[in-house]
C-alpha cells in the first residue's frame, strides 16, 4: 500500500472523521459524529495546519489534529483516527509530524478523551506515559423523553452577571471556561438560566446550541451546597433542555458528567437522560520540537 502523510481539505477530512467517530472502537470525545457539524467546527476553530493526515490508495486512512490554546499552553487531541492494520505505526507517524509543527520550544499539556471501547488509542496513550485523569459518561435525552419542571427559573440579566461569575467560579474552579468567559460567550444560542432563593442566586445552568445544525449541549449546571435537595437542579435542567428543543430545534441533547458524580447522573436520568458512552481522560506533557 502506498502511504503518504500530507495535509487535506476540511470537507474530505470531516467526512472521514464522521465515519470513524460513529464507531465506539474509534470514538474520540472531542469530535462530533456528523460531517456537517465537524466541518463547521474545523472551519471555525482550526487552520489547515492543525491536522495531519495519511493517505493509502488515494483515500484517507489516518488523521490527527491538535486544537491548541496558545495562552494556556494546552492541546485537545483529535485522534489518532486510523483505519488500517498498522494502526500504531500510522498513529506514531502522524503524532511525530504534528508535534514537529508546534511553534517554539514550550511544553504543552495535551488532553485526550477516548471512548472506553477505543482500547487501541487508550493503550497507545498509556505507552506514552500519559496520566489517567478520570472517567466520564455521555448522557443523552430526546424531546419525547423529558418533562417540564422550569417554574421559577429566569434567564441571566446583565445586573446579575457579577453574581453569576462568582457562583460559577466557586462551583467550578479551574475548569475550561471561567465565569467571565461564559458571560463573554452569551448570545441567542448560548444562554445562562439562574434560580434564586430569597433574592440570592443559588444555582444556574449554561447551555449552548447551534440552530444551523439543530444541536446543543449543557456545559455547566450547579447549585450552591446549602440550597441543594430542593429541586433547583431539576428545574434548571428542565429549562435548559426545553430551551434547546424549542429555541434551537435540537433533536437530542448530550452532556458529559464525571462518573463519580452519581448524584448528578441520577438527576439527569430522572428527567429522561440515558447513558450513551463512557469515556476516559488522559493528559500528557508535550514539548514542541522540530523533526530532524
Grade residue 291 by pLDDT with cuts at 50, 70 and 90.
Answer: very low
pLDDT on residue 168: 98
Mean pLDDT value across residues 88-93: 97
Say yes or no to pLDDT of 249 above 90. yes
Q: What is the pLDDT of residues 205-244, one digit of tens each?
A: 999 999 998 888 889 999 999 999 899 999 999 999 999 9
Highest mean pLDDT among 22-26, 40-44, 174-178, 241-245 belongs to 22-26
Mean pLDDT value across residues 195-203: 96
HEC readout, 115-142: ECCCHHHHHHHHHCCCEEEEEEEEEEEE
pLDDT on residue 1: 42
Average pLDDT taken over every residue of the chain: 91
pLDDT on residue 92: 97
pLDDT on residue 170: 96
Q: What is the pLDDT of residues 33-90, one digit of tens each?
A: 999 999 999 999 999 889 999 999 989 999 999 999 988 999 999 999 999 999 999 9
- On the question of a common fold for 3-134+280-287 and 144-250, the answer reads yes
- What class has domain 3-134+280-287? alpha beta
Domain borders along the chain are 3-134+280-287, 144-250
Q: What is the pLDDT of residues 11-20, one digit of tens each?
A: 999 999 999 9
Given a contact cutoff of 8 angstroms between Cβ atoms, the answer to whether 203 and 171 are in contact is no
Given a contact cutoff of 8 angstroms between Cβ atoms, the answer to whether 226 and 238 are in contact is no
pLDDT on residue 2: 44
Grade residue 292 by pLDDT with cuts at 50, 70 and 90.
Answer: very low
- Tell which wins on pLDDT, 253 or 202: 202
Say yes or no to pLDDT of 290 above 80. no
In the chain, % of residues over pLDDT 70 = 95
| C-alpha span between 92 and 291 (Å, rounded) | 13
Say yes or no to pLDDT of 7 above 60. no
pLDDT on residue 59: 92
- Tell which wins on pLDDT, 3 or 104: 104
pLDDT on residue 6: 55
Grade residue 150 by pLDDT with cuts at 50, 70 and 90.
Answer: low
CATH 3.50.50.60, domain 144-250, yes or no: no
Amino acid at each position: 500500500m502506498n502511504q503518504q502523510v500530507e495535509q487535506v481539505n476540511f470537507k474530505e477530512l470531516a467526512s472521514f472523521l464522521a465515519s470513524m467517530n460513529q464507531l465506539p472502537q474509534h470514538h474520540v470525545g472531542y469530535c462530533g459524529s456528523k460531517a456537517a457539524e465537524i466541518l463547521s467546527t474545523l472551519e471555525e476553530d482550526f487552520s489547515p495546519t492543525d491536522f495531519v493526515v495519511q493517505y493509502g490508495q488515494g483515500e484517507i486512512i489516518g488523521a490527527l489534529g491538535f486544537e491548541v490554546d496558545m495562552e494556556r499552553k494546552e492541546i485537545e487531541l483529535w485522534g489518532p483516527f486510523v483505519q488500517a492494520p498498522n494502526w500504531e505505526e500510522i498513529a506514531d507517524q502522524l503524532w511525530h509530524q504534528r508535534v514537529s509543527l508546534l511553534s517554539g520550544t514550550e511544553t504543552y499539556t495535551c488532553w485526550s478523551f477516548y471512548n472506553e471501547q477505543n482500547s487501541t488509542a487508550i493503550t497507545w496513550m498509556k505507552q506514552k506515559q500519559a496520566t489517567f485523569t478520570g472517567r466520564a459518561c455521555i448522557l443523552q435525552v430526546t424531546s419525547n423523553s423529558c418533562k417540564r419542571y422550569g417554574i421559577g427559573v429566569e434567564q441571566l440579566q446583565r445586573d446579575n452577571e457579577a453574581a453569576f461569575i462568582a457562583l460559577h467560579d466557586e462551583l467550578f474552579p479551574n475548569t475550561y471556561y471561567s465565569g467571565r468567559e461564559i458571560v463573554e460567550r452569551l448570545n441567542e444560542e448560548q444562554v445562562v438560566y439562574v434560580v434564586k432563593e430569597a433574592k440570592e442566586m443559588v444555582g444556574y445552568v449554561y447551555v449552548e446550541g447551534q440552530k444551523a445544525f439543530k444541536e446543543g449541549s449543557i456545559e455547566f449546571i450547579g447549585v450552591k451546597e446549602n440550597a441543594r435537595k430542593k429541586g433547583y437542579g431539576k428545574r434548571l435542567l428542565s429549562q435548559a433542555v426545553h430551551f434547546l428543543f424549542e429555541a434551537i430545534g435540537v433533536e437530542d441533547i448530550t452532556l458529559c458528567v464525571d462518573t463519580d458524580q452519581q448524584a448528578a447522573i441520577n438527576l439527569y436520568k430522572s428527567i429522561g437522560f440515558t447513558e450513551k458512552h463512557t469515556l476516559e481522560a488522559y493528559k500528557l506533557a508535550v514539548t514542541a520540537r522540530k523533526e530532524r
